[in-house]
Amino acid sequence: MHDDRTLVEGRLKRVLDERIRPAVHPESVPLDIAVWHAPGEPVPVEEGIAGPTGPVAVGDRWGAPWGTSWFRVSGTVPEKWAGRTVEAILDLGFDENMPGFQCEGLVYRPDGTPVKGLNPRNQWVRIGAPAAGGEEVLLHIEAASNPVILDYHPFLPTKLGDKETAGGEPQYTLARMDLAVFDETVWHLVQDLEVLGELMAELPVEGARRWEILRAISRALDAVDLQDVNGTAAAAREQLAEVLATPAPATSHRLSAVGHAHIDSAWLWPLRETVRKVARTTANMTALLEDEPEFVFAMSQAQQFAWIKEHRPEVYAKVKKAVAEGRFVPAGGMWVESDTNMPGSEAMARQFVHGKRFFLDEFGVENDEAWLPDTFGFAAGLPQIIKAAGSKWLLTQKISWSTINKFPHHTFRWEGIDGTRIFTHFPPVDTYNCSMTGEQIAHAAKNFKEKGVARHSLAPTGWGDGGGGTTREMIAKAARLRSLEGSATVEWETPGAFFAKAEAEYPNPPVWVGELYLELHRATLTSQAKTKQGNRRSEHLLREAELWAATAAVRTGAAYPYELLDRVWKTVLLHQFHDILPGSSIAWVHREAEKTYGKVATELTGAIETAQRALAGDPAGGTPLIFNAAPHARGGVAAGAAGPAGGGAGAQLTAREGGGFVLSNGLLEVEVDGRGLVVSAYDISAERETVAPGEAANLLQIHPDFPNQWDAWDVDEFYRNTVTDLTDLDELTAVEGDATADAAAGAGPGAVGVRVVRSFGASKVTQLLTLAPGAKRLDIDTEVDWHETEKFLKAAFPLDIHAERYASETQFGHVYRATHTNTSWEVAKFEACNHRFVHLEEPGWGVALVNDSTYGHDVTRTVRASDAGTTTTVRVSLLRAPRFPDPETDQGVHRFRHALAPGAVIGDAVREGYRVNLPERRLTGSGEVAPLVTVDNDAVVVSAVKLADDASGDLVVRLYEATGGRAKARVALGFDATGLAVTDLLERPSAELADGAGGPELADGAILLSLRPFQLVTLRLTRG
């Protein structure tokens, strides 16, 4: 037989595009249209429906950037259409390739009842099936003219990312507003032909199945009269029935499809627009669930449910009904799909606390899975947190974006730093926006790495990022793929049902140990420095507020600010979303975030001061008190206590021979040369130099920074090829006495310092290098007035230390990374994340570099020709200046605090990291404040002291082993306690998480703990 394959395939494409698809709506009449362009921000539904409308017509331009237009469409169903299916086709000017990334709408009835959302892949509204001839139609559309930020030429700088700079030029052209007949037979023919055509393209040319489908398609196209598609569609479908009915063999890959609409809580749109995106999507999905009995839809992010509960209660009522029926599934059990690299220990825990509690309170749903399809890599402390929250599974897809190494598994157990293992699945379909194309389904089956030992994978199905969700076309395709020869099988299932099947069939999968590092988007650890600083500061203010409020409640009976803390935690957790905290959102998002963090700081500082004043008593007592919120004693004040500061000998500052200054306090001797660089940091007791020979520390370096794509997200390795050392000096002066204490937070009396001022490009940096009495560290306060473009600023610390690995703090512990590049996996980690510290160590001696708000860093090593010694260089990432999606990223004044701690073991790194983030607070009062809990082992760190969330008055204490070793500790209680429970993160008793067979016991006012490396324990204490 002659090969006419190409001929038939070309015929299929043209006939579908030009004849069959247009015949889905064969008859139409125009609707009457009027519009009200609402001024300012979105208005309530009733106000929008009642707004004063004016004339508008198809072809008119509409929609200023970020505006809202309320369209009123009306018409009459023609009498001759009686008994037929009728739909309104409402095209606001859509580009079908941009669902979620441009204009959208939500359709309402005149009484304000939501009908469904409109987007480029969902432009229809069912009027009647069958319709009544002569029926009057009146609909209102709340249309959002969100501008296109990520266009066909991506990553171009644009001012459209902020309403304040976007201008008022209309963005869209009204394309179609019609009533139309819907021909269901033709629509089904389209789905038949698409499914078979797409499947055919994925089958081997040598196989019989491909040719069977080809011949059936050819016969179907012969049966179509191109001048009467509607009259011949049924005959064409008959020609396809046999090939569509041929079942898949039992060995086929099995796809569990779950409806999905990944909605970024902010990204190329502001938070307020996400509220409406969620309403539009959930209105669509609840309507689809009513029409499609087998369909299941899952939505994560408790914040998004809370938004529609508050702002669109009529939509929320439909969601609650569908959840109760088990078909609309709250997934993931987190407040938002957060970044997991940068959130601190408690913040990562609270993502699950607030997310799971919301789903339990609202729906009675307990999530077993964490659902993070789009997060940019996963910290090694996360498995323990997932388990401690009462969950056991994890789903993500993003690791498939890695550019250097292909991850070896799709289903595996992920082991965290403490040994906890979580059953994990990466969908081999390689997208969280599956649309049920034949290419996607075939890719999932071919790509699945567990072939031969497992057969199940998940396919999150629906348009996402900007929402939209699953369409009726996707559901129709899935129905045809339930069992179709040549294809993987498809079945709608909940995430829980999928994971149960996957784990049952593959009980002993391979294990991956340590972080799940994404080999892409590394610059998200640095972009938008003020957002990152706001997050870090808020996390530590929340720790302080909980600690002092709980202490005041127990000690004085003061009211505990439950509502304030709950609300502020949720605000901070929202801003940890994986496009806000990483700095990859539009300017509007980060401008608002800075204001929000300012309000958070004001509220929490007020709560802290109120609690401390209650604890300190009468200020007329005249005793200067230091409140120590850190988990370690310092300055003679116990952890979690308040007392008078201890004294000590001062530090000295002298002139350095050859220029510069020498700072010394008996523990360290630091030399700052005439360039303002640290050329020596000598550990006196260890008789050990910290700075590598011939090198200078605290060396600011600047690189060009223009990645190949994803400007705010990416830094490409070639940035290192060009570097400029910033050594030119404007000023080098000594600072002593009160001036030092004022300029360097926490330096205290007796400190000495050196001020260094430099200018470069259009920017200026001022640094204060401070040595405090009794401190084995050099504090570095940096202020940068930053006005560069597409540049990357780092601070380098070349250390005289030989280490093949180094430690970076992560949630409830630290993770080790190699300093070398033996393999491509190590090469890929040229920029990585730390929390409060990075630590390097030789046996018996180490160095810590701690920070108050930076996350990105790199570590490299070289061997010196002079003495064959190893120089290991740590560089902290300070600032970037990408121009997309925010063209003014990081412009302005920034302040950072770092400290170099020579001679530090890992426990010192932990302590100094807390110190730099939790400065002392000073208050005058009548007496000391005793701590609520005292731990006798510094390796066991208290991460939270708070009252229980249920307002019972119980005290909750969370602790973890921080050094990576086994630890015993006695936790002494400074109050009467009558009961003890080991709990999960939601403060529920948990025998599984208890230490040992019976768990720790309360005896004689103390608790004895024995912890594994990095083990996390939550204790709930009933007060007497």
Question: 76-114 pLDDT, tens per residue?
Answer: 999 999 999 999 999 999 999 999 999 999 999 999 999
DSSP symbol at 359: H
Task: Provide the residue type at 51 as one letter.
Answer: G
DSSP 17: I
Cβ pair 893, 594 in contact under 8 A: no
Cα–Cα dist 1010/180, whole Å? 72
Rounded Cα–Cα distance for residues 561 and 670 (Å):
45
Count other C-beta atoms under 10 Å from residue 403's C-beta.
Answer: 12
Taking residue 313's Cβ as centre, other Cβ atoms within 10 Å add up to 10
91 is catalytic: no
Query: Which one from 374, 683, 781, 852 is the annotated catalytic residue?
Result: 374
- Strand 668-672 with 661-664, pairing: antiparallel
Q: Rounded distance, CA 432 to CA 401, Å?
A: 12
First to last CA, the chain: 91
Residues 6+ positions from 829 with CB-CB distance below 8 Å: 517, 817, 818
Number of H helices, E strands in the chain: 19, 53
Residue pair 8/217 in contact (Cβ under 8 Å)? The answer is: yes
Query: Which pLDDT score is estimated for 618?
Result: 85
Burial code (b: 16+ CB inside 10 Å, e: under 16) for 47-68 equals: ebbebebeebeeeeebbbbbbb
Among the residues of 510-586, which ranges form H helices?
A: 529-556, 562-574
Overall average pLDDT of the 765-781 stretch = 97
CA gyration radius, the chain:
31
| Kind of pairing between the strands at 172-173 and 61-62 | antiparallel
Q: What angle do CA 816, 355, 144 make, to 5 degrees?
A: 110
* pLDDT 10s digits, 689-712: 999 999 999 999 999 999 999 999
Q: Report d(CA 814, CA 120) in Å as an integer.
A: 46
Count the residues in the chain: 1024
Token pair, residue 439, equals 């290419």
pLDDT higher than 60, residue 334: yes
pLDDT for 658 equals 95
Structure tokens at 837: 């510290």
Q: Give the pLDDT band (50/70/90) at residue 3.
A: confident
- Using the predicted structure, report yes or no on whether residue 1 has a pLDDT greater than 80: no
**Tokens 């926006």 -> residue:** 433
Asked if residue 950 has pLDDT above 80, the reply is yes
> What pTM does this model have?
0.97
CA nearest 736: which of 724, 747, 750? 750
- In a 3-state reduction of DSSP, which class is residue 257? strand
User: Residue 130's closest CA among 62, 61, 164, 81?
Assistant: 81
Identity of the amino acid at 248: A
For range 520-530, the mean pLDDT:
98
Q: Indicate the average pLDDT of the chain.
A: 96
In this structure, are residues 518 and 407 in contact, taking their beta carbons and an 8 Å threshold? no
Q: Mean pLDDT, to the nearest integer, of 117-134?
A: 94
Q: Where does residue 21 fall: left (phi above 0), alpha (psi -120 to 50 degrees), or beta otherwise?
A: alpha
Is residue 341 within 8 A of residue 525, CB to CB? The reply is yes
The SS3 of residue 492 is strand
CB atoms within 10 A of CB 291: 11
> Which residue do the tokens 């803390």 mark?
565
The dihedral of CA 379, 382, 383, 384: what is its sign?
Answer: positive
Closest CA to 435 of 648, 213, 257, 196: 257
Looking at residue 749, its pLDDT comes to 82
CA atoms of 179 and 176, how far apart (whole Å): 10
The residue type of 167 is G
Q: Which residue has the tokens 């003014």?
A: 888
- The three-state secondary structure class of 79 is helix
Rounded to an integer, what distance in angstroms lies between the CA atom of residue 86 and that of residue 138? 14
Tokens for 413?
């157990």
Strands 328-331 and 297-300: parallel
Task: Tell me how far apart the alpha carbons of residues 764 and 127 are, in angstroms, rounded to a whole number.
Answer: 64
Q: Cα separations (Å) of 411 from 395, 446, 451, 596, 641? A: 10, 15, 11, 40, 47
Closest CA to 463 of 300, 192, 259: 259
- Percentage of residues in the chain having pLDDT higher than 70: 98
Tokens of 941: 């760190």
Peptide bond into 885 cis (omega under 30): yes
Q: Residue 118: in which H helix or E strand, if any?
A: strand 114-118
Q: Cβ atoms within 10 A of the Cβ of 867, count?
A: 11
Average pLDDT, integer, range 479-507:
98
| Mean of pLDDT values over 766-784 | 97
- Strand 623-628 and strand 688-689: pairing? unpaired
H or E segment to which residue 3 belongs: none
Calculate mean pLDDT across residues 30-49: 97
Residue 997 has pLDDT above 50, yes or no: no
pLDDT of residue 180: 98
Cα dihedral 323, 325, 329, 334, rounded to 10, equals 40
Report CA-CA distances (Å) from 682 to 521, 667, 687, 862, 999. Answer: 37, 8, 7, 21, 46
Mean pLDDT of 50-73: 98
Would the pLDDT of 745 be above 70? no
User: What pLDDT sits at residue 953?
Assistant: 98
- On the question of pLDDT at 744 being above 70, the answer is no
Sheet containing 892-902: give its strands across: 731-736, 752-760, 763-771, 778-786, 892-902, 845-851, 837-842, 805-810, 813-818
Q: Which two tokens stand for residue 272?
A: 């307020």
Say what angle helices 208-223 and 229-245 make with each other, to 10 degrees.
160
- DSSP structure string for 376-391: S-B-TTHHHHHHHTT-
Contact 799, 874 (CB under 8 A): yes
Backbone angles phi, psi at 423, to 5 degrees: -65, 125
Measure the CA dihedral 986/989/990/993, to 10°. 80
3-state secondary structure of 554: helix
- Do 339 and 376 contact (CB within 8 A), yes or no? yes
**DSSP codes joined into one string, 951-1017:** SS--EEEEEEE-SSS-EEEEEEESS-EEEEEEE-TTS-B-TTTSSSSS---EETTEEEEEE-TT-EE
Residue range 886-898, pLDDT digits in tens: 999 999 999 999 9
Beta carbons of 341 and 376 less than 8 angstroms apart: yes
Residue-wise pLDDT tens digits, 280-315: 999 999 999 999 999 999 999 999 999 999 999 999
Give the pLDDT score at 920: 95
How many Cβ atoms from other residues are within 10 Å of residue 709's Cβ?
11
**Looking up tokens 């304040």, which residue turns up?**
164
| Confidence at residue 645, expressed as pLDDT on a 0 to 100 scale | 78
The count of other CB atoms within 10 Å of the CB of residue 505 is: 15
- Residues linked to residue 124 through DSSP beta bridges, in sequence order: 89
Query: How far is the C-alpha of 371 from the C-alpha of 350, rounded, in Å?
Result: 15
Mean pLDDT of 156-167: 97
Structure confidence at residue 741 as a pLDDT band (50, 70, 90): low
Q: Sorting pLDDT into bands at 50, 70 and 90, what band is 999?
A: confident
CA quadruple 136, 142, 145, 150: dihedral sign? negative
